[in-house]
Amino acid sequence: MIDQEIIRKQKLEKLVEEGIDIFPHKAEKTHSVIEVVSNYGSLTKEALEEQKIKVAVPGRILSIRKMGRATFFHISDGQNTLQVYLREDKVGKKNYNLFSLFDIGDIISVEGLLFKTKTGELSVQAETFNFLAKSLHPLPEKWHGLQDVELRYRKRHLDLIMNPEVRKIFQLRCTMISEIRKFFDQRGYLEVETPMMQPIPGGALARPFKTYHNALGIDLYLRIAPELYLKRLTVGGLEKVYEINRNFRNEGISSEHNPEFTMLEFYEAYSDYHDLMDLTEELINSLCQTLLGKEEAVFGEKTISFKRPWKRLKFKDALVQHSGLAPSRFEDEKGIMEIASNLTPEKKVMSFGKALDIIFDKNVKPNLVQPTFVINPPKIVSPLAKSSKKDPDEAERFELVIGGMEIANAFSELADPEEQQKRFEQQAAERKKGVEEAHWIDKDYINSLEYGLPPTAGEGIGIDRLVMIFANKKSIREVILFPLLRPKD
């Protein structure tokens, strides 16, 4: 324990000796700090004197300036700060001395009249004040605050106390999610919850987390996607469903990947992937306008425009335009597979389609800053999508890329149970070859398709990444309150 912590503990003991309840059950509160500031901040000094507005406002002490028998300090509700003026002749000598047992970081409530100082700052002239909670640790420094990124994530409570802009990110995130719910609710979608613990982890190509259920004696997997369950619901006649929930993927961690992440997934019967492109434009454009008040977002050095319509680029054309490879090179399948192999020395390139996918991820995606629908990727990397009528090697699928990140992935859902069975078998063969993220065979899902899946389009949108775009944050950890870190000690 450091000396400051010992002193704080001693002060707390003194408060107990003074008969103060150090863990009170309730606090007087007429206003929060932000309410005081927004309701009365614009009133003039004279108006405040005339109206004699009495408030009882709780907050955390962030700074103290003591000048003998008078003290100024600021309290905060995490959103705004409010100055308090404490005078010995107003609160009495005993109470005034009691305040010396309070430290920066403690939570108190202050009761008194609002006024403006000679410099024009809205303040509370304290008549009484109550102790609410002690901070047994000193807060970080008042100018620079808490800068250490690791500490900010490990002690998010401190981050929120010291860095008010952090709260704004999560307010934005909250608003975005609630707007998404409104958007789909208004369109007659039903919000559902499907299993997070699944006997067969399906719906995506990724490695799962494994767990075990004692009573049933079975292995379970944390879901990597809700997809197969949502489509069962579509078979069941729920024509429009959506789910906003966590997925878990046992893969690497990076500035764009957290092992658990939030995904919006939705399915619409009687539609195809073209309909979803329109819907996606509408959704994200309206989110941008609601959140930022305009149709563009600043992201790093770039400005992203969400004005409709967005670019729709065929996968193969995207490759030609952005990979730097001549169109003729793509006719040479072996050559392309070699190029892909060189791009991913640790991964075996099993097919031409995979090779194209790799070149796309490495050389094309980073160049797509403006919202772009990349449509019709190879079927081989899309085991759950309908293939294209015109070219059976292509999937009726799009990936939405914004700011160089894959934000959404959607397709016309494969409805043919026999074809699905074949695709699963293909994936099973890949698994045998050691591709751990290949899809499992899900017989129950095939069986559900055998009851008839109507023409359906489905889409997943990465919520965290969308927040990153709107909040202008380059790291996914900045938009997740508690990103996964290795435990210390």
> By CB under 7 A, is residue 486 in contact with RNA?
yes
Per-residue DSSP letter, 488: P
Between residues 12 and 241, which has the closer beta carbon with respect to RNA?
12
Residues 463-482 that bind RNA (CB under 7 A): 464-465, 474-477
Q: Which stretch binds RNA (CB under 7 A): 26-34, 114-122, 312-320, 386-394?
A: 114-122
In whole angstroms, how far apart are CA 98 and each of 17, 158, 371, 416? 11, 26, 59, 77
CB of 451 to RNA, least distance (A): 27
Three-class SS string for 162-213? HCHHHHHHHHHHHHHHHHHHHHHHHCCCEECCCCCEECCCCCCCCCCCEEEE
In 3D, which of 296, 297, 257, 264 has the Cα closest to residue 280?
264
| Structural Rg of the chain based on CA atoms | 29
Cα four-point dihedral sign 59, 60, 63, 64? positive
CB of 249 to RNA, least distance (A): 4
Residues 50-79 that bind RNA (CB under 7 A): 63-70, 72, 74
Residues 6-45 that bind RNA (CB under 7 A): 7, 11
CB of 30 to RNA, least distance (A): 21
31 and 24 Cβ atoms separated by less than 8 Å = no
One of 20, 48, 104, 325 touching RNA (CB under 7 A): 104
Residue 150 in tokens: 């690791």
Residues 237-256 that bind RNA (CB under 7 A): 249, 251-256
In 3D, which of 395, 460, 400 has the Cα closest to residue 423?
395
446 and 160 Cβ atoms separated by less than 8 Å = no
One of 56, 108, 126, 146 touching RNA (CB under 7 A): 146
**From residue 84 to residue 103, what is the string marking binding to RNA with x (rule CB under 7 A)?**
-x-xxx-------------x
Between residues 238 and 435, which has the closer beta carbon with respect to RNA?
435
> By CB under 7 A, is residue 292 in contact with RNA?
no
Q: Is 372 helix (H, G, I), strand (E, B) or coil?
A: strand
Angle at which helices 273-292 and 463-471 cross, to 10°: 40
Q: Which stretch binds RNA (CB under 7 A): 149-157, 178-186, 272-280, 413-421?
A: 149-157
One of 149, 190, 218, 298 touching RNA (CB under 7 A): 149
258 and 464 Cβ atoms separated by less than 8 Å = yes
Size of the site for RNA (CB under 7 A): 80
Distance in angstroms (rounded) separating the CA atoms of residues 106 and 59: 8
One of 137, 312, 329, 431 touching RNA (CB under 7 A): 137
Between residues 120 and 217, which has the closer beta carbon with respect to RNA?
120
> By CB under 7 A, is residue 433 in contact with RNA?
no
Residues in CB range of 239: below 8 A, 6 or more apart = 268, 269, 270, 454
One of 44, 51, 97, 117 touching RNA (CB under 7 A): 117
Residues 347-366 that bind RNA (CB under 7 A): 347, 358, 361-362
Between residues 128 and 344, which has the closer beta carbon with respect to RNA?
344
CB of 3 to RNA, least distance (A): 5
CB of 346 to RNA, least distance (A): 4
In 3D, which of 457, 313, 451 has the Cα closest to residue 375?
313
**From residue 182 to residue 211, what is the string marking binding to RNA with x (rule CB under 7 A)?**
----------------------xxx-----
Between residues 144 and 390, which has the closer beta carbon with respect to RNA?
144
Distance in angstroms (rounded) separating the CA atoms of residues 194 and 308: 33
One of 257, 302, 307, 311 touching RNA (CB under 7 A): 257
Cα angle: 415, vertex 419, 420; to 5 degrees: 65
Residues in CB range of 183: below 8 A, 6 or more apart = 283, 286
One of 28, 78, 115, 428 touching RNA (CB under 7 A): 115
Residue 423 in tokens: 């695709």
Residues 159-178 that bind RNA (CB under 7 A): none
Q: Which stretch binds RNA (CB under 7 A): 50-58, 189-197, 321-329, 339-347?
A: 339-347
**From residue 447 to residue 466, what is the string marking binding to RNA with x (rule CB under 7 A)?**
---------------x-xx-
Distance in angstroms (rounded) separating the CA atoms of residues 301 and 404: 13
Between residues 4 and 426, which has the closer beta carbon with respect to RNA?
4
Between residues 235 and 478, which has the closer beta carbon with respect to RNA?
478
In 3D, which of 48, 34, 45, 42 has the Cα closest to residue 82?
34
CB of 396 to RNA, least distance (A): 17
Q: Which residues pair with 303 in a beta bridge?
A: 298
One of 148, 185, 193, 332 touching RNA (CB under 7 A): 148
CB of 217 to RNA, least distance (A): 29
**From residue 364 to residue 393, what is the string marking binding to RNA with x (rule CB under 7 A)?**
------------------------------
Pairing type for strands 405-412 and 397-402 reads antiparallel
